[in-house]
Amino acid sequence: MSRIEAFTPKGMLHKGWSAQVEDYAISCGWVLQGKAFLVGDSAGGIYSFEGKSGDVIWKKKEVHKGGLLAMSIHPEGKSFATAGQDGRVLIWDSKEGELSKVLDLGKGWAEQIKWSPNGQFLAVTLSRYVYVFCANGQEQWRSDQHPSTVSAIAWSNSNELATACYGRVTFFDVVTNKVNQKLEWQGSLVSMVLSPNGDIVVCGSQDNSVHFWRRSTNQDSEMTGYPGKPSQLAFDQSGTVLATGGSEIVTVWSFQGDGPEGTVPGRLTLHADFISSLAFSHSGMLLASAARDGSVFAWFLNNNGQGDPVGGAFVGELVSQVAWRPDDCALAAVNAKGGITVWDFKVRTKGFA
């Protein structure tokens, strides 16, 4: 695989701040309306950086014995939750980094964690089970045993949770304890994303394909031909286009009209290695993509899935996650060596650097 040469931030990405955490940065996110940026690393460290300067506001070491696996920021940004190899879920206050709840799920890895859209519930996976807690830490619901380890979860609305595992996606109403829908397909589903209206369910599959279902019509389709497994999936806020990884090219499917079946996807080619993270801006059709080679690009997309690069930067290490600040005026990338880089995102007034 060709290697990329280091380059300075280009286009709309401008040098902002950078920082370092101790280990592989696993998860990140903006809190307190972009005033702070949180990072969790694989050693179980969590850090809060001041949003503008990058100064450390607070940090905690080894909050999960064995390591941290996932982090989810409450929709209001005032609190967040972490999950780890110790089988525990911790709920934190964003501002001071104070621990407010400890939920012990037992032996196993707590691997996936997601707040519901209105922040009322917190869903966590522990091998073949899914637990849903209320914000106060009380258990609201618990799934039966899934046929295999739950590989992804997503909320379709405030009460309905989707779980993906080998062979199926299941929709549970966590308030009435009902199975609303079961979508079956023989394949190992490794990732899942729902369209913003909750109708389209998209899963990346171990056999290097993307499978999707339309819940309202029961119509399903499979997009094959990816060179790797499409673990990275992202819908834009309007649900018009879906960006997918699984190669060094970002493949963008458009759901306009009768698409994406029978249409040619947009192909965004600049990365030299496989895509490692994708994130759409909070408004508009801006996509940030990052790759294993340490390159980060911002793209402006059309509704048909085609797009043009509007900025690029290089961080030198596999980028584990990219995150737009809530106002979309900054982009953050965290990497496998614990490096944190934040760029200002704005139109350059003087020509390209």
Partner 1 sequence: MSTEKKVPVTILTGFLGSGKTTLLNRILSEEHGKRIAVIENEYGEVGIDQGLVINADEEVFEMSNGCICCTVRGDLIRVLGNLMKRRDKFDYVLVETTGLADPGPVAQTFFMDDEIRDEFSLDGIVTLVDAAHIDQQLGRSDESSEQVAFADVLVLNKTDLVSDESLDILESRLRDMNRMARVVRSKQADVSIDTVLNLSAFDLDQVLKRRPTFLEPEYPFEWTGVFSLERGRYELSLEEGPDPTMSLVAMEDQGINEVALNDGAESCVRLYADSAELLHPGSTVPIGKHVSLQLQSNGRKSFFLELDHATQIGLFTQHTAEEFDIKVSTVDSSITENDGKNDSMVKPATERTWVAEHEHDDEVGSIAIERVGDVDPEKLNKWLSRLLAEKGVDIFRTKGFISYAGDSRRIVFQGVHMLFTAQPDKEWGSEPRRNQLVFIGRNLDEKEMTKEFEKCLV
| Positions that interact with partner 1 (CB under 8 A) | 3-4, 23-24, 26, 42-43, 67, 69, 85, 107-109, 111, 127, 148-149, 151, 166, 185-188, 190, 205-207, 227-229, 273-274, 292-294, 316-318, 336
Angle at alpha carbon of residue 158, lines to 152 and 160, rounded to 5°: 50
Q: Please identify, using beta-carbon distances, which residue of 75 and 228 lies nearer to partner 1.
A: 228
Closer residue to partner 1 (CB): 36 or 69: 69
Asked if residue 225 lies in contact with residue 186, where contact means CB atoms within 8 angstroms, the answer is no
| Nearest-approach distance from CB 71 to partner 1, in angstroms | 14
Which residue lies nearer to partner 1 by CB, 175 or 272? 272
The residue among 199 and 273 lying less far from partner 1, judged by its C-beta, is 273
Q: How far is the CB of 207 from partner 1 (least distance, A)?
A: 4
8 Å CB contact between 36 and 55: no
Instruction: Look up tokens 């940065």; give the residue.
Output: 25
Handedness of CA 33, 74, 44, 244 (dihedral sign): negative
Residue number, 231 or 240, with CB nearest to partner 1: 231
Minimum gap (Å) between residue 351 Cβ and partner 1: 29
**Distance of closest approach, residue 270 Cβ to partner 1, in angstroms:** 16
**Smallest distance, Å, CB 24 to partner 1?**
4
Residue closer to partner 1 by CB (options 149, 238) is 149
Least distance CB 151 / partner 1 (angstroms): 8
Comparing CB distances to partner 1, the nearer of 9 and 245 is 245
CB of 66 to partner 1, least distance (A): 8
Dihedral of CA atoms 112, 40, 118, 281 in degrees, nearest 10, equals -100
User: CB of residue 242 vs partner 1: minimum separation in angstroms?
Assistant: 20
Length of the chain: 353
User: What CA–CA distance (Å, rounded) separates 255 from 200?
Assistant: 10
- The tokens of 294 are what? 């340490």
Beta carbon nearer to partner 1, 301 or 319 = 319
Q: How far apart are CA 287 and CA 270, in angstroms?
A: 13
* 3-to-24, 273, 318 alpha-carbon distances in Å: 21, 8, 12
Query: How is the beta sheet containing 139-142 ordered, strand by strand?
Result: 110-115, 121-126, 129-134, 139-142
Looking at the DSSP bridge assignments, the partners of residue 247 are none
332 Cβ contact partners less than 8 Å away, ≥ 6 residues apart: 28, 30, 37, 322, 323, 324, 325, 340, 341, 342, 343
Amino acid sitting at position 254: S
Phi, psi of 33 (to 5 degrees): 55, 35
